[in-house]
Chains A and B, each alone.
Chain A
Amino acid sequence: MEPPAIPHITEGFYPLPEIVETFSHHVLQELVSLAEVLPSMSNVEKKKKILDWLLRSRAFTMRLLVLARWVHLSPSVHRCIDVVAFLQGQKFCFQNLVHVLQDIRYQLSFARLRNSDLVTALDILSTGTSLRLANAPTSKLYMLSESPLSTKQILQTLHALNMLIRIRLSLYEIIPTPFQHFTIANGRCTFTVPNEFSVSLTTNSQDPKSTGISFQWIVVDFQFHLPDFSSTPAKYRVFIELHLNEEIAAAFVLQKPILPLIYNILHKFCLYQRLNLLSQQTFQLSRESWLGHLRGVYDEKPPRLRLYYWPQLNVKKEGKPGKIGHYIHIFVNTQPISAFERTLSSKRSSCEYDHFLLLVEWHHDGIVEHVPLDDHMDAQHLLLLITQKHAQLILEQIRKELHPNIFSEHVGGGLKIHVFDNEIIVKVNSVTGRLVLSSSASPLSPPRHLRAAEKNIALNTQPPAQILNRLYFFCIQTQLLEVAQCAELHAVQGYYSFPYLTFSKGKWRKDGDSLWVLAYNVESNSWSVRLLNAAGQTLYTQDVHTTKGTLSIESFSRLSYLLEVQILLFNVQTACQARGMPFEYLPIPPKALIEDDFTTYVQTGCLCIMMPSSNEDMLPVVFVRAHDGQLIFDSRIKGKLPYQSETETEKNCYIDWRTGRITIRVQNFSSFEKTWIGLLKLVALSKTSAFNVDCITLKHVDFTYLDDEKFRATIHDDNTFTLHFFNRHSPFHLISQFLQDTFSDGPSAIQPLRVIMDRTRGVLVAQELGYVVLARSLRQYRIILSKNHGIQVLLNRHGCILQDLSYLSADSRYLEGTQTLTSQWEPCSWLNTVWEGDLGDDELNGQIEAAPEMHLIKMNKTADLTAILKRILAISRKK
């Protein structure tokens, strides 16, 4: 019998003729559509459209060709598909078979009978009761009796235990020093070590005197007293109690002291637990607040903890992380027993125990430094302590490397750098180790340059001190530029480079492109005033002395004022150089002038000039200051002078006659020189001994001549003098016009005036007697006795000549003739005896020399002209 044929699958199959026919129709339809669309296109678009269609259709044709070449395999593939479908059906049958078997198994599980309890049935049927159940462990036979212990019994037992433990500890046990403080209560003994642990021990022995045979300690309780770990988990307590009891049993066999053993075990356990706590705190910090900046490494054998902080501070070489140079090492170590402690050792306070200690070592820069570990110090406190120390070291190193002129100090855990009236505060972030820069002016929002400097320091491209140096100078420059602009100053570029900053104003530019500038040396923190020419060369420089005031707009204004002062003083120096006068600049003015110093930040200097003076009437030293565009000259007059009022002001000159101090305010040196010369002449006049000086002012000097004739010498702007006689009837009015040019610049300028007045006074006596006196010059006078009679008086170096006018020399007559004088002089006949040398007084006769033929007499300089003239005029009056 043939097996049945497998099913023939027809779904999902397509006849080839249908495919080809569909393709043919589709392509031809597209061709028709293309023919309809092409007329509306341009030639290029037509070409493109046709090509696209042809290529796409060709691709479809290629696919159809592939299918045509494969079609001979379709019957075989079709049969394979049928076989696979049939086999798939077989698989499903097998799976269904498995499921059916599982269902049968599940259903048959309910077709069972329970096993009969033959044992119980046998017991009940044979004995009538269940003996096995009555003897089970849960029956009442195993329960305790209901008679409890009385309170008295309990207290008595505990009391006995207390006494037993006390006797044992007092007489037979070695107690280590940390265990010397203990309490005995409630049948147990509790040893407490502060900040570590407390452990409770009890005993089940009866005889305290036994030495290890029957007396045995039992640990019944344990509590942690670590600062950050006060609660004791149950698992710790159980573990410790079991472990300690085991160790006690072992030591019991070996006859070792129990309490030192317990202390050693627990103490070490607490140290390691504390180390573990520090480790946990470190890991927590490294994941939270110290994320990325802290790494904790915990080693198990032996237990120790290393904290690596501030990773970016590691020295980098060639872009690779260098060797770690700083970390904190926490470990447990044994400390030797000191001799002192051994001496004090006793049975109740023994030193025979392990002196383990938790030590902290700080490794930095190749140095190991021990840090004391406080009992209450956790990981964060330890880190903060170490990082604070490290920060101090870093800041100290930076402070040493800073520029010498930068003033810095340690303030409040940071480094404070003073920049004029502000401070740059450099701190080290305790978590990251980065330098944090802030400004005291704006602590919450640091300026951009501070943030930039901070970033540069973090990049570690240059040493921090170098960056801070540059930042410091930048801050100075910035502040100077800001303040200078407020003070109407602008920075000048191109003349000087670092470390100089130069400022100027438009009005400070002189003719010929010379420029006055204020120069500030950033490194030396000093100011100077400079004059530059067009080529940038320095023609003049002068240092400025500044006080310790803060720099501000006012300070810059004062600096500007100082420069203007310097310009004026420079002009004075130029004038002095031109005149060959020595001078010296004093940065700090003398004490006498300090009260006139108008600035607080900038002290204006003064110029000391040595005036060319040959007399000693005035001090040659003159101090020159400048203020408000004016030059102020200060000098003194030597000696005491009679003055009219104590102080006097005349135009640009002020004088204190009591002290002799003179202050002259002028615009330039020439004006001062003119005033100075005038003052010199005036003082020279007042110093004369030829006359009695009554008083002196800045305008004139009053004199007294022979106690009755007062006159005044007035000085004018051109340094010339005018004489004025106060007595309206003074005979000197006659010759006052000739007396104007008698003064000179010498110290004895007025001496000739005295001589002249002494000599002419004899001639002028005639005026007092009523005669008319004519003065032709200071040497030639005529006394008119009557209309046609007169006497001529000639004064010369050798003395005086009196002559009758009618007997003048021929030359004189000739000159008078040419002038066509109307009058003719007649001889004075009554004076013939005089011309013969007889004056009627022997004394006077001795002073004259007669010449009768010339009708004249001669007298020497020592002759008394006044007396002689009086005698002669008296003769004339008689006749």
Chain B
Amino acid sequence: MLPQDDMTDEMKSLASRLEDTTQAFYDLALIVYNLEDTTPSDAIPESLDTLIRDLKSLPDISRKVNNLIPQDVLEYIEQGRNPDVYARQFSELVQKDNQYVNGKLYAIEGFQKAFAEEIKQAYPEVSSVVDKILNEGKVESTVS
């Protein structure tokens, strides 16, 4: 389970209200299902008022939580899957791609050196240009 420390109060409030809304739906369904002559006459109106009140307050609470949700996560939840899985897979993907690009960069640097040496041997007259290009990169590094 991912940590819950970074949840803000607004987020917690929204979650709590959504839980209340869910419970309201359940209570009303239970009353309707067990509807009999002995049921109090004000049960349904009370539950219905509670439900409507919760539903109306949701937008106001959610405006304080101004986070962007990726479409993939929405699709995940729509399909009934766990969005935490999506988050974990994405973090793994980041690590994998980072290592891949790092390897590529290392290989390209080695190729740069070898390629420069070959050009110097084949064309001695252009050695100065090659050194200039290489120094340009170094100078930048030194400056930084």
> CB within 8 Å of B: which residues of A?
1, 10, 12-17, 19-21, 23-24, 27-28, 31, 47, 50-51, 54-55, 57-58, 61-78, 80-81, 83-84, 87-88, 90-91, 94, 97
Among the listed B61, B68, B94, B144, which residue makes an inter-chain contact with A74, where contact means beta carbons less than 8 Å apart?
Answer: B68
- Once the chains bind, are A81 and B32 in contact (CB under 8 Å)? no
**What's the count of A-B pairs with C-beta under 8 Å?**
155
Within 8 A of A (CB), among B55-86: 55-56, 58-59, 61-63, 65-74, 77-78, 83-84, 86
Identify A84's interface contact among B18, B32, B84, B93, CB under 8 A.
B93
Q: Report the separation of the CA atoms of residues A531 and B7 in the bound assembly, to the nearest whole angstrom.
A: 113
Question: Within 8 Å CB of A24, what residues of B?
Answer: 55-56, 58-59
**Extra contacts besides A47-B32, A68-B18, A91-B104 (18): CB < 8 Å:** A10-B68, A13-B68, A14-B69, A14-B74, A20-B59, A27-B55, A51-B33, A58-B26, A61-B22, A65-B18, A66-B83, A67-B73, A73-B84, A80-B93, A87-B98, A90-B104, A90-B105, A91-B101
Q: Is the CB of B68 within 8 A of A15?
A: yes
Count of B residues near A, CB < 8 Å?
A: 56
Most buried by A among B18, B71, B105: B18
In the complex, are the beta carbons of A83 and B94 less than 8 A apart? yes
Which of A10, A68, A80 has the largest count of B CB atoms less than 10 A from its CB? A68
| Chain B residues, CB < 8 A from A94 | 104, 108
Residues of B contacting A69 in the complex (Cβ-Cβ under 8 angstroms) = 15
What separation, in Å, do the CA atoms of A10 and B55 have in the docked complex?
Answer: 29
Q: Please state if A16 and B67 are interface contacts (CB–CB under 8 Å).
A: yes
A61 vs B35: C-alpha distance in the bound complex, in angstroms?
A: 24
Given contacts A61-B21, A69-B15, A70-B83, contact A87 B66 (CB under 8 A): no
Check A78 against B25 for contact (C-beta < 8 Å): no
Asked if A70 and B94 make an inter-chain contact with CB atoms under 8 angstroms apart, the answer reads no
Q: Is the CB of A70 within 8 A of B73?
A: yes
14 A-B pairs with C-beta separation under 8 A: A12-B72, A15-B66, A17-B59, A17-B62, A50-B32, A54-B28, A57-B25, A63-B77, A65-B15, A72-B7, A80-B90, A80-B91, A87-B101, A88-B97
Q: Within the complex, what minimum Cβ distance (angstroms) separates B111 from chain A? A: 9
| B115 vs chain A, min Cβ distance (A) | 9
Known: A84-B97, A90-B101. A71 touches B11 (CB 8 A): yes
In the complex, what residue of chain A is closest to B143 when comparing beta carbons?
Answer: A1
Task: Give which listed residue, A27, A47, A71, contacts B35 with CB less than 8 A.
Answer: A47
Q: Is the CB of B94 within 8 A of A84?
A: yes
Q: Are B78 and A63 in contact (CB under 8 A)?
A: yes
Roughly how many angstroms separate A23 CA and B26 CA in the complex, as a whole number?
A: 18
Interface of chain B, helix or strand or loop or mixed? helix
- Specify which chain B residues have a CB less than 8 angstroms from the CB of A12 in the assembled complex: 70-72
Cα A17 to Cα B2 with chains together (Å)? 23
From A14, A31, A51, A87, contact of B71 by CB (8 A): A14
Closest to B69 in A: A14
- CB pair B98 A74 closer than 8 Å: no
**B59 and A72: CB pair below 8 A?**
no
For A19, A54, A55, which residue has the most chain B Cβ atoms within 10 angstroms? A54
CB closest residue in chain B, given A56: B25
B108 touches A51 (CB 8 A): no
Binding site for A on B (CB under 8 A): 2, 4, 6-8, 11, 14-15, 18-19, 21-22, 25-26, 28-29, 32-33, 35, 52, 55-56, 58-59, 61-63, 65-74, 77-78, 83-84, 86-87, 90-91, 93-94, 97-98, 100-101, 104-105, 108, 143-144
Give A61 to B62 CA distance when docked, in angstroms: 14
Task: Provide the bound-state CA to CA distance between A763 and B62, in Å.
Answer: 175
Give the contacting residue for A23; candidates B19, B29, B58, B77; CB below 8 A.
Answer: B58
* A65, B24: Cα distance in complex, Å: 14
Known: A17-B63, A17-B65, A54-B28. A72 touches B98 (CB 8 A): no
Contacts of B74 in A (CB 8 A): 14, 19, 67
CA distance A10 to B70 in the complex (A): 9
Is the pair B4, A72 in contact by a Cβ cutoff of 8 Å? yes
Chain B residues within 8 Å of A88, by CB: 97
Contacts of B32 in A (CB 8 A): 47, 50-51, 54
The reply to whether B87 and A73 form a contact with Cβ atoms under 8 Å apart is yes
Known: A66-B77, A69-B15, A84-B94. A15 touches B69 (CB 8 A): yes
User: Nearest Cβ distance between residue B82 and chain A, in whole angstroms?
Assistant: 8
Q: Is the CB of A28 within 8 A of B52?
A: yes
Residues from chain A with a CB closer than 8 A to the CB of B84 are: 70, 73
Contact A65-B22, Cβ < 8 Å, known A14-B74, A51-B33, A71-B11? yes
Bound complex: CA of A363 vs CA of B135, how far in Å?
95
Q: Are B68 and A31 in contact (CB under 8 A)?
A: no
Across the interface, name the chain A residue whose C-beta is closest to B67.
A74
Quick check: A20 and B62 within 8 Å, CB to CB? yes
How many whole Å from B126's CB to the nearest CB in chain A? 14
- A77 adjacent to B29 (CB under 8 Å): no
Contact B62 A16 (CB under 8 A): yes
By a CB distance below 8 angstroms, the chain A residues around B90 are 77, 80-81, 84
Closest B residue to A69 by beta carbon equals: B15
Taking a contact as CB atoms closer than 8 A, the residue among B65, B72, B94 that contacts A71 in the complex is B65
Residues of A within 8 A of B100 (CB): 87, 91
Residues in B with CB closer than 8 Å to A47 are: 32-33, 35
The interface residues of chain B lying within 8 Å CB-to-CB of A87 are 94, 97-98, 100-101
Report A-chain residues with C-beta under 8 Å of the C-beta of B62: 16-17, 19-21
Q: Which residues of A contact B22 (CB under 8 A)?
A: 58, 61-62, 65
Contact B29 A54 (CB under 8 A): yes
- B65: chain A residues at CB < 8 Å are 16-17, 71
CA distance A226 to B44 in the complex (A): 104
Q: A94 vs B106: C-alpha distance in the bound complex, in angstroms? A: 12
Query: Which of these, B33, B55, B83, contacts A67 with CB under 8 Å?
Result: B83
Min CB–CB distance A109 → chain B (angstroms): 15
Q: Are B67 and A28 neighbours in the complex by a CB distance under 8 Å? A: no
- Asked if A97 and B25 sit within 8 Å, CB to CB, the answer is no
Residues of A near B68 (CB, < 8 A) are 10, 13-16, 74, 78
A84 to B90, CA, bound (A): 9
Q: How far is the CB of A78 from chain B (nearest CB, A)?
A: 6
Instruction: Provide the bound-state CA to CA distance between A75 and B26, in Å.
Output: 33
In the bound complex, residues from chain A placing their C-beta under 8 Å from that of B56 are 24, 28
Max chain B CB contacts within 10 Å: which of A14, A50, A87?
A: A87
Query: Are B70 and A77 in contact, with the CB atoms below 8 A?
Result: yes
Contact B29 A19 (CB under 8 A): no
- Of chain B, the residue at the smallest CB distance from A58 is B25
A17, A23, A70: the one within 8 Å of B66 (CB): A17
Using known A-B contacts A13-B70, A61-B18, determine if residue A1 contacts B94 with beta carbons closer than 8 Å. no
Assess A83 versus B55: contact at CB under 8 Å? Given A67-B69, A71-B69. Answer: no
